[in-house]
Structure 1
Amino acid sequence: MILVDQPIWPAHGRRFAHLVSDTSFDELHRFAIGLGLPARAFHRDHYDLPDAWWADAVAAGATVVDSREIVRRLRASGLRRRAPRPDRTTGPPRDHATEP
């Protein structure tokens, strides 16, 4: 199922929604291609959907849910891809004796 939240996320002078699938990335990519979204709008597990495209996504069959539901459904489906955390074990050793 394709899901979309409200376009409330500000960036680049406009608002964005998140477009996801709780079924597969193939389903998500096919839907995004059908809308005409560029590949650069895809980020790990979702597309950033500009506010001007939101009504088209809903008209094409996306189900409107809140952002918490999007995260819940992505986790439940196993499709959630979090941003990698920085590896804090690498890098130069810190000299704790000289730190304030």
Structure 2
Amino acid sequence: MILIDPPAWPAWNRIWSHLVSDESYEELHAFAKAAGIPARGFDRDHYDVPSDRYDDLIAAGAVPVSSKELVRRLIASGLRHRKRPPIE
């Protein structure tokens, strides 16, 4: 299932949502491609999408969930990739 959290993450003078799959990266990449989300928006385990795309992505089939629920489902799916710790 494709999930999206509410726009809440400020960066680059915009507010962003996260788009994930709780099933596979293949499902996520296929959805993103069909929705016209550029590949450069992919970050380890999710796509960053601007707030102006939120309603369109829900209309295309993404299920809105809280940010907490999105992370919980991503971890439960085994698809969560955390940032690597800095090399000392």
Q: TM-score, length-normalised on structure 1? A: 0.85
User: What is the aligned partner in structure 1 of residue 43 from structure 2?
Assistant: 43
Q: How many residues align?
A: 88
Q: Distance between the aligned counterparts of 1:87 and 1:16, measured in 2?
A: 29
Q: Distance between the aligned counterparts of 1:32 and 1:63, measured in 2?
A: 14
| Percent identity between the two aligned chains | 57
Structure with higher Rg: it is 1
Structure 2: 5+ residue stretches without partners = none
Structure 1 outlier segments of 4+, above 6 Å: none
Q: TM-score, length-normalised on structure 2? A: 0.97
User: What is the aligned partner in structure 2 of residue 95 from structure 1?
Assistant: none
Between the two structures, name the one with larger relative contact order (CA 8 Å, sep ≥ 6).
2
User: What is the aligned partner in structure 2 of residue 74 from structure 1?
Assistant: 74
Question: 1:52-93: per-residue Cα shift (whole Å, max 9, x none)?
Answer: 1111100001110011111111110000000111133xxxxx
RMSD value, Cα: 0.7
Structure 1: 5+ residue stretches without partners = 89-100
